[in-house]
Amino acid sequence: MFLRLDTLEQPILAAYGPDIGDVGYRAAQAVARDNLLMGRGVVADCVNDLKITRDAWRDTALDVGATPVEIEIRCSDANEHRRRVETRDCGITGFSPPSWEKICAQRPDPWDREHLVVETAGRSVGESFAELLERLALVASVDRR
């Protein structure tokens, strides 16, 4: 199941305003938990630049006996990253994506455990996705041993 945090948060923001704290993440993690308990795989599409959010997603999986796979999608080319941010059409009515300035002001927590990194600079979505699927298949084959 694909769980897109921006889609889930938008109606919450529309109803309650911008000061919702971590409500969207908590709601998404509850939906993820229910789906994991039903045996479904879950892909959570969200920014996890803080250790506390990465830990919460990981704990959601571990609490129900699922194997978490953490993935960092990266674009190391600042010009390309900026162009993507400024031309992005996310397809969510009423959604205002963060500005380039806001993204640059973020100070992400460093990763402190193993995770997959997919570098997207100079690559199409299809190329990046194909690499991710290939690497996930490797993780799954190791996990089955």
Q: Using one digit for the tens of pLDDT, what is the confidence trace for 98-112?
A: 899 999 999 999 999
Span 48-66, average pLDDT:
96
- Using the predicted structure, report yes or no on whether residue 121 has a pLDDT greater than 90: yes
Confidence of residue 142 (pLDDT cuts 50, 70, 90): confident
Burial call 131-145: b when 16+ CB within 10 Å, e when fewer:
eeeeeeeeeeeeeee
- How confident is the model at residue 89, as a pLDDT? 87
Angstrom distance (rounded) from CA 24 to CA 13? 9
For the segment(s) 2-143, the CATH number from 2.60.40.10, 2.30.42.10, 3.30.530.20, 3.40.50.300 is: 3.40.50.300
The conformation of residue 107, written as its DSSP 8-state character, comes to -
Span 127-137, average pLDDT:
93
For residues 117 and 74, is the Cβ–Cβ distance under 8 A? yes
- How confident is the model at residue 52, as a pLDDT? 95
- Using the predicted structure, report yes or no on whether residue 35 has a pLDDT greater than 80: yes
- Quick one: which H or E segment has residue 2? strand 2-4
